[in-house]
Amino acid sequence: MIREAQPKDIPQIQIVRNAVQENTLSDPSLVSDADCADFMFRRGKGWVAELDGLVVGFSIVDLQENNVWALFLLPEYEGRGIGRQLHQVMLDWYFQQTREPVWLGTSPGTRAEAFYRKAGWQQNGLNGEKELRFEMNYAGFLTMNDE
């Protein structure tokens, strides 16, 4: 179900990204296929959750900026543990590569905010004017895995 993303997955990844109901892009053209490929294969790595040949979710982490670039699911697949699985495989890989803290931004008052808080991420300010900034350090990652 969870596997490393491949270039052929990018069209379905874009469908997932643009189908979300929270943390939507103001302009979907701001994230190109080339951006996806850059973050998944040059700057970091990506994974997809696939069911019956359909990509239903994906995660991408950026080693250059130590940032979770994306973690999204099709809305109809939320609440099934798929996001937790994508989150886990992404952080496992990230902390095998580096011990640097990883950060992400998400909108306040969203399911994503609650998800990251429950997973042990620590809020440490704002990302821009409208997003909360969360951070996970290596010790927090180890604690998350002990629970």
Domain CATH number, residue 130: 3.40.630.30
- Domain range for 56 is 2-146
Q: Which residues are bridge partners to 54 per DSSP?
A: 51
For residue 136, what are its two tokens?
């996970």
- For residue 24, the 8-state DSSP code is -
Q: What is the rounded CA–CA span in Å between residue 47 and residue 40?
A: 8
| Tens place of pLDDT per residue across the chain (147 aa) | 999 999 999 999 999 999 987 776 777 677 899 999 999 999 999 999 999 999 999 999 999 999 999 999 999 999 999 999 999 999 999 999 999 999 999 999 999 999 999 999 999 999 988 899 999 999 999 998 876
For residue 21, what are its two tokens?
């109901």
List the alpha helices (DSSP H) in the chain.
Answer: 10-19, 33-41, 82-97, 111-118, 138-146
Q: What is the pTM of this model?
A: 0.93
Query: How many domains, in total, are found in the chain?
Result: 1
Question: Sign (positive/negative) of CA torsion 70, 17, 130, 118?
Answer: negative
Contact 43, 98 (CB under 8 A): no
